[in-house]
Amino acid sequence: MKITEWTLCVIHVVLSLAHAYGCFTSRPAFIKPMLANCFASTGLMLIYVMVVIYIIFNVNVPSMTDSADALQMRFETTQKRNLTTAGIFFVLYILWDASTLYVYFEVKQQHDDFMYWIVEERIVASQTRSTDR
């Protein structure tokens, strides 16, 4: 693997760990980078799907031999298999985006509820201290 691929893998792992930490500690700020990662990955997958579709419909294998039709058929079959795989991954990425977005809003709501509860407890504690005096 190249250095760029390793860097992207490490960044993805760090963002995934921050996402898990943000989910378990109810801190939505740790989930925001993962949202950006999800949508960037989905955008890249969409670009890949469009490139494969372009290749299937607009690129022809040059015919230099008698078996050009067989070569063209193998090329189209391979590209259609690539399109099927890319389409499946694209649908999975959309589901990943939806679940990550749902988790973000759920954790944000949970965080807001927790902060409200803390303020409420402080108010009650200060009122009981003032009435005890």
Whole-structure pTM value: 0.62
pLDDT tens for residues 68-112? Answer: 667 667 777 877 888 888 888 888 888 888 888 888 888 888 888
CA–CA separation, 87 and 81 (whole Å): 10
Between helices 32-58 and 3-25, what is the axis angle to 10°?
Answer: 140
Residue 115 to residues 8, 34, 108, 112, 128, Cα–Cα distance (Å)? 35, 23, 11, 5, 20
H or E element that contains 39: helix 32-58
Q: Model confidence at 32, in pLDDT bands (50, 70, 90)?
A: confident
pLDDT averaged over every residue in the chain: 78
